[in-house]
């Protein structure tokens, strides 16, 4: 493979993805698509906003579990392990043509991030984004790690794509808004979904378009310390909290279905233009993988 025109972060991803024990290099088309994605993110000036991003691609589940970004830069602090952890996954649960498919029962991906680790990266209740690219109708949780404020809650809710008049929820037991409940709601249509809390302004985008509806905000969290919370962050499942105490989560996570084709967690991208640029880069990548929606 000619490498001189490929982005250096794509080459680093390729090297990690093909490392032992499974050792199968990603295809030339995949590496080129990853490289083009990296260049588009750089050109949009948003590379520093990502704490972890995984494009869910490669020849096997080892490659699929290898995130492209693990920090705000390739040379700065890296957050979480070098690979996501498989939760009940089999080789047949992933293919590049579809992504990673959940079963609603026992399958998920553990990012190895926790709420306290995200806090160390500068993410807090008023300063965070999360996104997913999904294929097919999703039932149940697509994203989640729940803290006492509920901001990382990705559980059930009406679909913004079904004309139900979706809205941001105020968390029932803590009184502040829940970032992800509607960004990653049950029964939601496929595509790129992005949610952010940007200095207290909660917003949601679907496929690059601002689709925030009836947004509400319950106030800033003042009594809860995210730096003490080791709740794990998973995709295709979430840890469900029903208490307000720090570091409390149920022993049994809630699992979802549908196919996950990418995720990201990081700082808010901010403007409509930046978020639309992210969507375009993501859509171009998914198109290159022939799994776009």
pTM of the shown model: 0.84
State which H helix or E strand residue 100 sits in: strand 99-103
Q: Give the number of other CB atoms < 10 A from CB of residue 132.
A: 27
Q: Which domains does the chain have, with CATH numbers?
A: 8-288 (2.60.120)
The reported pLDDT for the residue numbered 139 is 54
The reported pLDDT for the residue numbered 41 is 98
Tens-level pLDDT at each residue, the chain (293 residues): 555 699 999 999 999 999 977 778 999 999 999 999 999 999 999 999 999 999 999 999 999 999 999 999 999 999 999 999 999 999 899 999 999 988 878 888 899 988 788 889 988 766 778 888 888 765 555 555 433 334 333 332 222 222 222 223 323 222 223 333 333 343 455 788 887 777 766 677 888 888 765 344 444 444 456 677 676 787 877 665 444 433 334 456 767 777 889 999 889 998 899 999 999 999 999 999 999 98
DSSP 65: T
Q: CA–CA distance from 272 to each of 47, 67, 127, 237 (Å)? A: 16, 25, 16, 28
CA distance 95 to 90: 11
The reported pLDDT for the residue numbered 124 is 72
Q: CA–CA distance from 21 to each of 57, 65, 131 (Å)? A: 17, 13, 30
Residues listed for the chain: 293
Do 246 and 228 contact (CB within 8 A), yes or no?
yes
């Amino acid at each position: 493979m000619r490498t001189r025109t490929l982005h250096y972060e794509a080459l680093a991803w390729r090297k990690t993805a093909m490392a032992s024990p499974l050792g199968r290099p990603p295809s030339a088309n995949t590496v080129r698509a990853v490289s083009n994605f990296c260049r588009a993110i750089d050109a949009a000036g948003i590379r520093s906003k990502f704490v972890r991003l995984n494009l869910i691609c490669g020849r096997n589940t080892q490659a699929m579990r290898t995130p492209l970004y693990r920090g705000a830069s390739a040379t700065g602090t890296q957050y979480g392990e070098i690979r996501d952890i498989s939760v009940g996954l089999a080789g047949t649960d992933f293919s590049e043509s579809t992504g990673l498919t959940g079963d609603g029962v026992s399958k998920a991906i553990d990012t190895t991030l926790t709420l306290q680790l995200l806090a160390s990266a500068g993410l807090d209740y008023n300063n965070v984004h999360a996104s997913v690219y999904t294929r097919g109708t999703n039932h149940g949780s697509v994203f989640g790690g729940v803290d006492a404020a509920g901001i990382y809650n990705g559980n059930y809710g009406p679909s913004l794509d079904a004309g139900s008049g979706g809205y941001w929820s105020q968390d029932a037991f803590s009184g502040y808004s829940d970032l992800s409940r509607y960004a990653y709601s049950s029964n939601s249509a496929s595509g790129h979904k992005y949610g952010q809390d940007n200095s207290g302004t909660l917003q949601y985008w679907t496929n690059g378009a601002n689709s925030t509806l009836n947004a509400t905000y319950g106030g800033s969290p003042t009594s809860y310390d995210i730096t003490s919370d080791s709740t794990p962050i998973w995709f295709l499942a979430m840890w469900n909290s029903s208490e307000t105490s720090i570091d409390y989560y149920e022993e049994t996570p809630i699992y979802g279905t549908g196919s996950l084709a990418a995720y990201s967690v990081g700082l808010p991208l901010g403007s409509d233009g930046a978020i639309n640029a992210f969507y375009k880069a993501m859509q171009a990548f998914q198109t290159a993988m022939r799994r776009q929606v």
